[in-house]
């Protein structure tokens, strides 16, 4: 609610054309999440805003153009990136724990993330992922470079792989919490986040076992 109020307040200060464009994006966002992309028509979006179909096309080429704008302007990673970059920790362990906790907190606040992801992957077959990758990858790599500067010896693993594993592991933590969290037995929930951090940092093998196989 607070986020919506801030958005509305910001929109009121924009020129009329930009306010109309923002209203179209708002309408598309609501309809796409509620009905899906293919089940939503451009006319429905225009009606939602109180525009004629022609007026809506003056601002966007079509509903895919609206969806791409939603991804670029409202993707949860736009909120996740700054909080990850603000993570604190002099050691790799502390930095990972704080950054992962911040990432999960934002994902918890953005319940739309799964809807947007499924629309992109199922209805568009990942068509726009390369464009999003170019947008988000540079600041993510900048964040990953902090691992190399923090105290704690890193294994000789390329930073992009370290980053990919970080995002993959903790995003899977969030997804499994959302999808099956209520069904999990207590032993799979108690201290789960700290265990995920430990698995990310140290793996699942005892250190003596790792050494013996090297």
Specify whether 180 is located in the same domain as 206: yes
What's the pLDDT tens digit per position in 136-159? 999 999 999 999 899 888 899 999
Q: What is the CATH number of the domain that holds 56?
A: 1.10.10.60
What's the pLDDT tens digit per position in 164-188? 999 999 999 999 998 898 898 988 8
Specify whether 6 is located in the same domain as 36: yes
Specify whether 43 is located in the same domain as 146: no
Q: What is the DSSP letter of 76?
A: T
Structure tokens given for 114: 């799964």
Which among 43, 45, 23 is positioned nearest to 33, based on CA atoms? 45
Arithmetic mean of pLDDT over the chain: 88
Specify whether 60 is located in the same domain as 94: no
Indicate the number of domains in the chain.
2
Beta bridge partners of 91: 151
Specify whether 34 is located in the same domain as 87: no
- If you count them, how many residues does the chain have? 214
Specify whether 158 is located in the same domain as 81: yes
Structure tokens given for 212: 């013996």
Q: Are 70 and 116 in contact (CB under 8 A)?
A: yes
pLDDT of res. 77: 87
- Residue ending a domain, among 26, 45, 69, is 69
Specify whether 205 is located in the same domain as 105: yes
| Structural domain span for residue 167 | 75-212
Specify whether 164 is located in the same domain as 104: yes
- Residue ending a domain, among 26, 50, 69, is 69
């Amino acid at each position: 609610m607070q986020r919506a109020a801030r958005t509305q307040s910001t929109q009121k200060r924009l020129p009329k054309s930009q306010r109309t464009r923002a209203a179209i994006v708002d309408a598309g966002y609501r309809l796409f999440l509620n009905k899906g992309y293919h089940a939503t028509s451009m006319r429905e979006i225009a009606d939602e805003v109180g525009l004629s179909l022609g007026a809506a096309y003056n601002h966007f080429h079509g509903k895919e153009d609206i969806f791409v704008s939603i991804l670029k302007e409202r993707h949860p990673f736009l909120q996740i990136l700054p909080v990850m970059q603000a993570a604190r920790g002099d050691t790799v362990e502390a930095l990972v724990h704080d950054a992962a906790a911040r990432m999960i907190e934002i994902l918890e606040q953005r319940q739309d993330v799964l809807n947007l992801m499924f629309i992109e992957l199922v209805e568009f077959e990942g068509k726009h992922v390369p464009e999003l990758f170019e947008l988000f990858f540079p600041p993510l790599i900048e964040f990953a470079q902090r691992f190399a500067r923090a105290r704690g010896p890193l294994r000789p693993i390329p930073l992009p792989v370290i980053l990919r594993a970080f995002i993959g592991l903790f995003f899977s933590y969030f997804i499994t919490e959302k999808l099956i969290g209520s069904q999990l037995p207590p032993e799979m929930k108690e201290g789960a986040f700290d265990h995920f951090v430990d698995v990310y940092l140290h793996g699942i093998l005892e250190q003596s076992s790792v050494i013996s196989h090297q």
